[in-house]
A = this chain, B = another copy of it.
Amino acid sequence: MPHVTDLERRRELGQQFRVDSVRMSAAAKSGHPTSAMSAADLMAVLLDGYLRYDYDTPKSPANDRLIFSKGHASTLVYAIFRAAGVISDEELMSYRKFGNPLEGHPTPVLPWVDVATGSLGQGLPIGVGTALAQKRLDRVPARTWVLCGDSEMAEGSMWEAFEHAAHYELDNLTAVVDVNRLGQRGETMVGWDTDVHVERARAFGWHAIAIDGHDLEQIDRAYAEAIATSGKPTAIVARTVKGKGVAAVENENGWHGKPLEDPEAAIEELGGERSIRIEVRKPDPVEASRPPARALELPRYELGSEVATRKAYGEALAALGAARGDVVALDGEVSNSTFAEIFAKAHPERYFEMFIAEQQMIAAAVGMQVLGWRPFASTFAAFLSRAYDFVRMAAVSRARICVSGSHAGVSIGEDGPSQMGLEDIAAFRAIHGSVVLHPCDANQTAKLVAAMADVDGIAYIRTLRPATEVLYGPDEEFEIGGSRVLRSSDEDDVAIVAAGITVREALAAADRLADDGVTARVIDLYSIKPIDVETLAAAAEATRGRIVTAEDHWPEGGLGDAVLAALADTEEPPRVAKLAVRDLPSSGTPAELLGAAGIDAEHIVAAARRLITAPSAHVSS
Contacts and interface: CB of A to CB of B under 8 A. Distances in A.
Interface of A: 28, 30-31, 71, 96-100, 102-105, 107, 109, 116-121, 151-152, 154-160, 163-164, 167, 183-186, 188-189, 196, 199-200, 202-204, 333-337, 341, 353, 355-357, 359-360, 382-383, 385-386, 388-389, 392-393, 395-396, 413-419, 422-423, 426-427, 429-433, 529, 545, 554-558, 560-562, 564-565, 568-578, 584, 586-589, 592-593, 596, 614-618, 620-621
Contacts of A422: 430, 432
Given A429-B426, A556-B565, A98 B389 contact: no
Chain A to chain B: the 5 pairs with minimum beta-carbon distance, closest first? A156-B156, A118-B418, A98-B588, A557-B557, A426-B430
Given A107-B417, A155-B386, A199-B203, 5 more contacts: A103-B417, A152-B356, A188-B355, A573-B576, A621-B621
Contacts of A188: 355
Contacts of A157: 156
B204 A200 contact: yes
Q: Which of A360, A569, A616 has the most CB of B within 10 A?
A: A569
A459 to B, nearest CB: 15
A121 B164 CA distance: 16
Contacts of A432: 422, 554, 584
Contact of A109 (B119, B389, B586): B586
A356 B98 contact: no
Contacts of A572: 616-617
A568 B189 CA distance: 50
A101 to B, nearest CB: 8
A565 B569 contact: no
A529 to B, nearest CB: 7
Contacts of A336: 184-185
Contacts of A574: 573
A156 B154 contact: no
B577 A569 contact: yes
Nearest to A555: B565
A576 B569 contact: yes
A356 B155 contact: yes
Contact of A565 (B71, B102, B116, B564): B564
A256 to B, nearest CB: 8
B104 A355 contact: no
A99 B586 contact: yes
A419 B105 contact: yes
Contact of A104 (B120, B416, B578, B584): B416
Nearest to A572: B617
A356 to B, nearest CB: 5
B30 A337 contact: no
A355 B189 contact: yes
